Amino acid sequence: MTSIDTERTVSLTVNGVPREARVPVRRVLADALRDDLGLTGTHVGCAHGVCGSCTVLVDGEPVRSCLVLAVQVQGAAVTTVEGLARDDHRGGQVLHPVQEAFRECHALQCGFCTPGFLVTIAAGLEARDAAEEITEEEVDELVGGNLCRCTGYTNIKKAVRHAAATMREDAR
């Protein structure tokens, strides 16, 4: 018999750490991350898929965490903005090249949209061949699904090019 539930316990890996939460089945992943797991880096803007601020990686792919139920990520690996920085092998952490580029290019003002952009762009840049120079079309596609009400996008696009260039250097 298939069980029909109003509440479930979900086990998943978040940023490499096994986590578990008891959630009502209607709870979306974004709220579970923020309220049940205390990871408030993921922001919720529109709550219906339009703005992209809640974007996280599920098994490596960017998804809207406001349009996935927490119970649907049972067993999955989730990466949030808190998980983008990397181990520097000296006991500390280094920012992801996209995070560095956002700082360098002044690609944020209020910062509300930033986690969604960072996660989307990081995954997009990692999925492409770093040795190839990035095209304007690719840049547009990478930022086109996220809304920013502050920056006017110019510096965000600059940051994408900057991060792609860094990753290109690193790939040599």
**Candidate residues 20, 88, 132, 141; the one interacting with another protein per rule CB under 8 A:** 141
25 vs 8, 32, 46, 70, 114, CA distance in Å? Answer: 6, 11, 20, 7, 28
109 binds, among another protein, ligand FES, ligand FAD, none (CB under 5 to 8 A by kind): ligand FES
Judged by CB, which is closer to ligand FES: 100, or 168? 100
Judged by CB, which is closer to another protein: 16, or 60? 60
Contact status: 2 vs another protein (CB under 8 A): yes
Q: What are all long-range contacts of 36-45, with beta carbons under 8 Å and residues at least 24 apart?
A: 36/70, 39/14, 39/15, 39/80, 39/82, 41/80, 41/81, 41/82, 41/115, 42/80, 42/81, 42/115, 43/112, 43/113, 43/115, 43/116, 45/112, 45/113, 45/147
51 binds, among ligand FES, ligand FAD, another protein, none (CB under 5 to 8 A by kind): ligand FES
Contact status: 81 vs ligand FES (CB under 6 A): no
**Candidate residues 72, 93, 135, 154; the one interacting with another protein per rule CB under 8 A:** 72
Site pattern 44..73 for ligand FES (x: CB under 6 A) = xxxx-xxxxxx---------x-x-------
CA nearest neighbour of 17 among 82, 96, 62, 95? 82
Q: Give me the least distance between CB of 28 and ligand FAD, in Å please.
A: 13
Phi, psi of 95 (to 5 degrees): -65, 150
Q: Which residues bind to ligand FAD, rule: CB under 6 A?
A: 49-50
